[in-house]
Amino acid sequence: MQIRYFFLIVLSMLVFQPKAHAQQLSPDATVSILTCDPGTDVGEWYGHSAIRINDPARNLDAVFNYGIFSYDTPHFFYRFAKGQTDYAMGGERFKSWLPQYDEEKRSVYQQVLNLPLEGKNKLFQALIENFKPENRVYRYNFFMDNCATRVRDMIERNAGSPIRFTDNHHTESYRDLIKKFHHSFRWFDLGIDLLVGKKADEQVSAYDQMFLPDYLKDQFAKAEITVDGKSQPLVLETRTLREYPNSKLNSDLPWPAIVFGILFLIIAAISVRDFLRKTKTDWLDYWLLGLSGFSGLIIGWFTLYSEHPAMSPNYNLLWAFPLNLFFAGVWAVKKWRPQTRYYFWLSGVLLLLSFVMGQQFNPAVYFIILILLVRVVANLIPEKK
């Protein structure tokens, strides 16, 4: 979610941790959820969530968040791809936390929670305990354990009174949810769709949708808490601390689908021309087989070795078949073609299967499948005499 630097952990510990251990919150203290709109950097595309503890009587105004990581961590990108990224919980003073969102032109909303004093102190002490060096690092999981779900879980476990989320129906899939934040990043959206497998198409309950900060904010706005035996709204008040245009609402043309749609028309025209002229465009097959096979190696690595739970199974491997890369070299030996051409039957079956396996593909992928099917047919139909 939000990109931060590890030195903030040390700084925040020096600034307010000793004082926090020495005192309880006063009756005037407030506990709030802070929700930040998406930003333009990759780590900010889905927004950010944090917890604010404000107690003027104790001169305490702190923000706790679970989105701290560093690109300088050894082998960061490899570990991220493998699903072994470690994030950390940290904190800082609110007055130093908020200005960065002015610089980034990102809206910030505050929901003041209706917690009893017992719950406020319990949550505060739980945050301090979680802030200790031996407790602050956790294994990040984008769908199930991130800066938003940690905020939800800490509040739900330490509220001091039962919290009830009134909306828990199944509506959309993980894939549908994250696609709403990719309108301005169509090629990135294609990349995500290639790597994320069929499990991302399962319907997600409203409770589990709170892995996204916007949905966390909406669910808390509808939640209730039991205080003195009575059910009351969990959120007392919602404030807009900063307001800017939301970058995730921007959109552009679906360029990947347009590009591959045009390629499909071109390759279909070349294939028809070759049939009519009794010619072969061998280089086209070498490139398509090689590129689809190479893509399959990358997708296959994520499917087999990544610990991200939504990576497997991935039926993009039916068209991005890794063996295509090897077959591209075999197909180049023309004297073997009378026997090896039957490989296209296997390829055709796999391509057709991809339509019925129940995985949602990116629109551009359907054009890629059609391109490969055209070349399968071109290499299997008898030559015109």
Tell me the pLDDT tens digit for each residue of 182-194.
877 889 999 999 9
Q: Are residues 234 and 152 in the same domain?
A: yes
- Mean pLDDT calculated for residue range 366-377: 97
d(CA 112, CA 51): 10
Q: What is the pLDDT of residues 295-343, one digit of tens each?
A: 999 999 999 998 888 899 999 999 999 999 999 999 999 899 989 999 9
Question: Is 185 part of a structural domain of the chain?
Answer: no
250, part of any domain: no
Angstrom distance (rounded) from CA 139 to CA 137: 7
Question: What single string gives the DSSP state of each residue in 62-127?
Answer: EEEEEEE--TTSTTHHHHHHHT--EEEEEEEEHHHHTHHHHHTT--EEEEEE---HHHHHHHHHHH
Whether 213 is covered by a domain: the verdict is: yes
**358-372 mean pLDDT:** 96
CATH code assigned at 229: 3.90.1720
pLDDT of the residue at 383: 61
Number of domains forming the structure of the chain: 2
Q: Is residue 349 part of a domain?
A: yes
Residues 221 and 297 placed together within one structural domain of the fold? no
The verdict on residue 192 lying in a domain is: no
Domain extent, residue 31, equals: 7-168+206-245
> Could you say which of 245, 269, 304 is where a domain stops?
245
Residue 153 lies in a domain: yes
Cis peptide bond upstream of 313, omega within 30: yes
Q: Do 311 and 222 belong together in one domain?
A: no
Q: Are residues 45 and 158 in the same domain?
A: yes
pLDDT at 293: 97
Indicate whether 280 and 163 sit together in one domain: no
Q: At which residue do the structure tokens 């043309």 appear?
A: 253
CB 232 within 8 A of CB 224: yes
Quickly state the pLDDT bin for 1 (edges 50, 70, 90).
Answer: very low
What are the tens digits of pLDDT across the range 128-165? 999 999 999 999 998 999 999 999 999 999 998 999 99
* Same domain? 42 vs 151: yes
> Which of 227, 245, 263 is the last residue in one of the domains?
245
User: β-strands 163-164, 224-227: how paired?
Assistant: antiparallel
Q: Quick one: tokens of 59?
A: 């001169």
Instruction: Examine the domain organization and report whether 321 and 222 are in the same domain.
Output: no
Q: What is the mean pLDDT of the chain?
A: 88
My answer on whether 241 and 104 are in the same domain is yes
Identify whether residues 109 and 64 lie together within a single domain. yes
Tens of pLDDT, residues 92-133: 999 999 999 999 899 999 999 999 999 999 999 999 999 999
In this structure, the answer to whether residues 234 and 368 fall within a common structural domain is: no
Indicate if the pLDDT at residue 9 is higher than 50.
no
Q: Looking at the structure, do residues 114 and 133 belong to the same domain, yes or no? A: yes
- Give the pLDDT confidence score for residue 166 in this predicted structure: 82
pLDDT band of residue 287 (cuts 50, 70, 90) is very high
33-47, 74-88, 205-219, 326-340: the lowest-pLDDT one: 74-88
Q: Report yes or no on 173 lying in a domain.
A: no
Indicate whether 279 belongs to any domain. yes
* 272 lies in the same domain as 137: no
Where a domain ends, among 245, 263, 294?
Answer: 245
